[in-house]
Amino acid sequence: MSHVIAPPAGGIVPVAGSAGETFPVHRIYCVGRNYVEHAKEMGFTGREPPFFFMKPADAVLPVAEGETGRMPYPSLTKSLHHEVELVVAIGTGGKAIAAADAMRHVWGYAIGLDMTRRDLQGEAKKQGRPWDIGKSFDHSAPIGPIRRASECKVDAETRITLEVNGRVRQQSTIGKLIWSIAEIIEHLSAAWELQPGDLIFTGTPEGVAAVERGDVLKAEVAGVGRLQVMLV
């Protein structure tokens, strides 16, 4: 048996503080509207059940700490938005995982950006069409190195921030997640069997806005990592 084309490389993310270790990506799940103030700015209120969308695994744009990643400004859009998010990396798979057991499935954490062609997503919403063209494009998931959970202290006070060209655009704490990491894993694993290598983008706080070519985005989850990306 032989492949008829070269097997695709797939998404790979470096492991923080390691000598060349990497985390191969299986799938990228994203949670929609998971901070109250962001749900409000998108025109929604109240605690709705969590909902999910996916990005292709090879949409990751891995950026080593201390480096500046280069994200190509995507085609078809005039409104590319940033969404800074805490990313959870799954090390142990499973289905129908109870929230009380969920955290042992977490291998580590990273800082990520759920980049969004907001105009195309808005049009898709209006038409009742899938979000893929707005969310699941090439290089739409810039991500910093994944740090082992045992080396991170992620709790309600953990700060998440995004600066664009040196000015703070998004700022919150992980305690403001509507659905906690454990609850997200419970809901996700009821719908899909989670696999080692899955990444979960846990949702963005308020302050999403457009960026342009030449802008520099600097994101951080305190105690987890930093990510710097320039749009080119």
Name the site residues for Mn ion (rule: CB under 5 A): 83, 114, 204
Q: What tokens were used for 216? A: 């520099």
Of residues 140 and 204, the one with the C-beta less far from Mn ion: 204
Of residues 158 and 204, the one with the C-beta less far from Mn ion: 204
Smallest distance from Mn ion to CB 169, Å: 14
In the complex, which residue's CB is closest to Mn ion? 114
Q: What tokens were used for 25? A: 């990506």
Of residues 23 and 53, the one with the C-beta less far from Mn ion: 53
Cα–Cα distance for residue pair 84/203, rounded to 1 Å = 8
Of residues 114 and 186, the one with the C-beta less far from Mn ion: 114
- Residue position matching structure tokens 């390691």: 18
Selection from 112, 110, 105 nearest residue 196 by Cα: 105
Smallest distance from Mn ion to CB 116, Å: 7
Smallest distance from Mn ion to CB 135, Å: 8
182 CB burial (10 A radius; 0-12, 13-18, 19+):
middle
Smallest distance from Mn ion to CB 100, Å: 26
Selection from 181, 167, 133 nearest residue 31 by Cα: 181
Of residues 69 and 205, the one with the C-beta less far from Mn ion: 205
Smallest distance from Mn ion to CB 199, Å: 12
Of residues 101 and 163, the one with the C-beta less far from Mn ion: 163
Cα–Cα distance for residue pair 222/225, rounded to 1 Å = 6
Smallest distance from Mn ion to CB 163, Å: 18
Q: What tokens were used for 81? A: 């938005």
Selection from 131, 106, 110 nearest residue 119 by Cα: 131
**Can you point out the beta strands (E) in 15-134?**
22-24, 28-31, 52-55, 60-62, 68-71, 80-81, 84-90, 106-113, 116-117
